[in-house]
Structure 1
Amino acid sequence: MERELALELARVTELAALAAAPWMGRGDKNSADGAATEAMRSMFDSVSIRGTVVIGEGEMDEAPMLYIGEQVGSMQGPEVDVAVDPLEGTEIVAKGLNNALAVLAVAGKGQLLHAPDMYMEKLAVGPALAGKLSLNDPVRTTVEKASLALGKPIRDLTVMVLDRERHKDIIRELRETGVRIKLLSDGDVAGAMAPSFPEAGIDMYVGSGGAPEGVLAAAALKCLGGEIQGRLMPENDEQTERCIAMGLTDPRKLLYIDDMVGTDDVIFSATGVTPGEFLGGVRYLPDQRAETHSMVMRAKTRTIRYIRSSHYLPNKPLLNK
């Protein structure tokens, strides 16, 4: 993939974030998600790719746009797989909380895992712990290995977990080890990315979340040098058959980054909608301007670009339709 594509993709997540931001704190997650999705889909028309959505807003009969299988881009340029979450953290925006993002990832055709919409068990770490832990281990063993690898007492480790009832046993086990726990209200992709940013102060991310979000997180972590391991959690025979139909012959296989995003190049872009651990949110300025904070990364070079942009909103026709 051409490196110039990275900046084109940043413009896509910027517009999605700008479209979602006016809904911050209004208690209407569906309108926020719809605005971000429409803006992202419209902006893709200007991107020089022949893209196929493999992680999106749902099946064709569930989503009006950015559905799985939809063709996006100008239809000129490389043939690629596209994974999107126009608004990662719909509840976050509705409640006016932190860590909402507009995110997307692009990889060569056939590289991205066609992850079904179900839970995935996850373990995500930053570069310092990459290759040193296993999702197969009990939580206590994982904590002990992390402590040894980092040279930090267990009491000084911080583990992030989504605040969900299904995680009560994991949270109890973690508390028994003596680690600090940071509970996350929403934002599964941001949570998995957090251990790769020293300023976030997070050593590990554990628990279950959406499988599509796992693929997006894997794309980011491939660029950051971190690691995510995942295991799909089909709840019944129907979900198991769905995995098999999507090419996952062993639905409960332990998945690594290369299983989720392939071995070739990946580009990942994220723009903050609300302020977060590693990106600022959309900020409104005088004179009908708004400021966005984005990051765009490429796995091949491991370059991370932070982009701070000031947008003159009247000149954004896709936001003013």
Structure 2
Amino acid sequence: MFAPDRNLALELVRATEAAAMVAGRWMGRGDKNMADGAAVNALRYMLNTVSMSGVVVIGEGEKDKAPMLFNGEHLGAASSPEVDIAVDPIDGTRLTALGLPGAISVVALSEKGTMFNPKNIYYMNKLVTGPKAAKVIDINLSPAENISRVAEVKGKALDDITVVVLDRPRHDELLAEIRSAGARIKLIPDGDIAGALLTCKDHGGADILMGIGGSPEAVITA
């Protein structure tokens, strides 16, 4: 059975660190494809040195469209633990190309056969908050009700609640609902994995993430 392991975690940190460092050489140079390609190469190389036997469940795409880190690729340098892998060499390629903050390199593992594969579901409606309020939110409730519940659990006034939302035209109605509820909004141009993680930190500067974004990023965040 797969269980969290400190040494494995550190090996994964080294892998994402390598991807971030090589991608950083392309920061601000206006070519997101070169930045992504560099990160893919570095991440794949490092993951193949990790003591695991993994299969990419969420990667860069299907084998015929992604030569490396494709869905179904086997990675690792050992026969165990057997794991499912989700990768995003750069969540925020455009941010990197433009020299903006907020891009990160991410790897997630789970026991073999347990990772949700969204397949042809490309977008999901997302609702993320930290551990203090995780049990009181419900994606079927209105934004106003979820904001109110989080505020109550965290002991905050409504106007002290900050909601992270991707800056997209599809969110115009959501933004209006959030403001009507009395909360603040932190708009992010890209990279909702990093935005979601802000809500999980005591001093991350955000309380909730809401809105529609990519399915692979949703699984990695979870």
TM-score normalised to the size of structure 1? 0.66
Q: What does residue 152 of structure 1 align with?
A: 156
Q: CA–CA distance in 2 between the matches of 1:89 and 1:50?
A: 28
Q: What does residue 179 of structure 1 align with?
A: 183
Q: What does residue 89 of structure 1 align with?
A: 92
Could you tell me which of 43, 47, 51 is aligned with 1:48? 51
Deviation, structure 1 residue 175: 1.2
Indicate the percent of aligned positions where both proteins have the same amino acid: 48
Q: CA–CA distance in 2 between the matches of 1:174 and 1:44?
A: 41
Q: What residue ranges of structure 2 are gaps of 5+ in the alignment?
A: none
Q: What does residue 234 of structure 1 align with?
A: none
Higher relative contact order (CA 8 A, sep 6+): 1
Deviation, structure 1 residue 61: 1.2
Q: Is the aligned partner of 1:201 residue 2:205? A: yes
Deviation, structure 1 residue 106: 1.1
Deviation, structure 1 residue 147: 2.1
**Match of 1:131, SS?**
coil
Report the residue type matching 2:205 in the other structure.
G
**Match of 1:199, SS?**
coil
Give the conservation status (yes or no) of the 8 Å contact 1:51–1:75.
no
Report the residue type matching 1:78 in the other structure.
P
Report the residue type matching 1:70 in the other structure.
E
Q: CA–CA distance in 1 between the matches of 2:195 and 2:64?
A: 30
Q: What does residue 75 of structure 2 align with?
A: 72
Greater fraction of residues in strand: 1
**Bigger Cα displacement from structure 2, 108-117 vs 88-97:** 108-117
Which aligned pairs between 1:97-176 and structure 2 lie closer than 5 A?
97-116=100-119, 118-176=122-180
* 1:179-232 Cα deviation digits (max 9, x unpaired): 1111011111111111111222211000011111011100xxxxxxxxxxxxxx
Q: CA–CA distance in 2 between the matches of 1:210 and 1:39?
A: 23
Q: CA–CA distance in 1 between the matches of 2:164 and 2:133?
A: 15
**Match of 2:102, SS?**
coil
Aligned positions, number: 218
Q: What does residue 9 of structure 1 align with?
A: 12
Report the residue type matching 2:41 in the other structure.
E
TM-score normalised to the size of structure 2? 0.95
Question: How large is the Cα RMSD of the aligned pairs?
Answer: 1.1
**Match of 2:145, SS?**
helix
